[in-house]
Amino acid sequence: MHDTILNQLDRDGFAVVEGFLRDAECEELVAAGLELTRRLPDTPPTVFSTTQPEHEHLKGKYFMESNDKISYFYEKDALDADGKLQVDPSISLNKVGHALHLLHPIFRCYTYSDRVKALCRALHLAEPAVVQSMYIYKNPGVGGEVVPHQDISYLHTEPISPIGFWIALEDATIQNGCLWMARGSHKSGVHRRMLRSPGDRNKCIYDKPAPVYPESSFTPVPVSKGTCILIHGNVVHRSAANRSAASRPAYTFHVVEKKDNNYSEDNWLQEGENAPFLNIYTTSQML
Ligand SMILES: O=C(O)CCC(=O)C(=O)O
């Protein structure tokens, strides 16, 4: 089975691992995600939207300092022009991140689980480390589109690319915004990079404009609740807005190989005292 996963990842740029979490485990994570919406901070909301001009959220200190926190990012359509909530807080968030795997007992437990350790071994990773984690809400009606991108644009490593673990916590369908993959596109190099601006540590810049990918390159990958999709850092992928009545939550984290591999110093997300890149094999599930 595990050889097949590695083969799929090598061949297609992604691999589908069905039944990675049981229904009750997905439900525990969804409850934890919902619980986070019950204690939204009083600070002015930061929107996360990949369709905003120049990705406005990337310019802010709030985003740039979220490597060692549980930070809250709102849906564009959940706020009015003055940043006032237009929807119920429970459906207002785009995502929370980027240190759930370090700071939250439930997300930590799943991130450093034996099942994740076993998958990393199956992928022949020698020193895998989690660098970031996110709970993505993709709520009905407001859940925004994620434009085509490669994860390596944001988490650049060489020569070994990062791998995303993306776990569907409800059935992800074409209607509610499942992932769409450009099969095989991981063999086409790094298309662009987002770099920490040398002049301002609270800002990021892209080195190139966004490439235009033909619609025909993408294949939908609908999956059932509990499926983990492994995403090669170089594969181009996207997801559509959720205009259905069903939510499409996902828990996702990114793993980098630390052995004989370079994590780029100009990535927005850096290791820090409170955000160590811990080796998955030797890290306990418990806080
Ligand atoms: O969950 C989604 O809709 C998109 C996630 C994604 O593209 C990513 O995390 O890189």
How do residues 9-54 score in pLDDT, each as one tens digit? 999 999 999 999 999 999 999 999 999 999 888 777 888 777 765 4
Whether residue 138 has its Cβ less than 6 Å from ligand 1: yes
**59 pLDDT exceeds 80?**
no
Single pTM value for the model: 0.95
**2 pLDDT exceeds 90?**
no
pLDDT of residue 49: 75
Q: What range does the domain containing 231 cover?
A: 2-282
CATH number of the domain within which 122 lies? 2.60.120.620
Whether residue 170 has its Cβ less than 6 Å from ligand 1: no
pLDDT of residue 206: 92
Provide the number of structural domains found in the chain.
Answer: 1
Q: Whose CA is nearest to atom 9 of ligand 1?
A: 252
**58 pLDDT exceeds 60?**
no
Q: Note whether residue 287 is domain-resident.
A: no
Q: Note whether residue 85 is domain-resident.
A: yes
Q: Ligand 1: distance of its center to the CA of 75 in Å?
A: 14
Asked if residue 223 lies in contact with residue 250, where contact means CB atoms within 8 angstroms, the answer is no
**114 pLDDT exceeds 90?**
yes
Q: Note whether residue 149 is domain-resident.
A: yes
Asked if residue 98 lies in contact with residue 154, where contact means CB atoms within 8 angstroms, the answer is no
Q: Note whether residue 41 is domain-resident.
A: yes
Whether residue 250 has its Cβ less than 6 Å from ligand 1: yes
Q: Whose CA is nearest to atom 3 of ligand 1?
A: 239
pLDDT of residue 191: 98
10 to each of 43, 123, 156, 231, how far by Cα in Å? 43, 10, 18, 10
- 246 φ, ψ (degrees, to nearest 5): -105, 140
Q: Note whether residue 139 is domain-resident.
A: yes
> Each residue of 192-245: pLDDT tens digit?
999 998 888 888 999 999 999 999 999 999 999 999 999 999 999 999 999 999
Q: How far apart are CA 274 and CA 55, in angstroms?
A: 26
Q: Note whether residue 44 is domain-resident.
A: yes
Q: Using most ligand atoms within 8 A of CB, pick from 175, 178, 232, 237 the residue to mutate for ligand 1.
A: 237
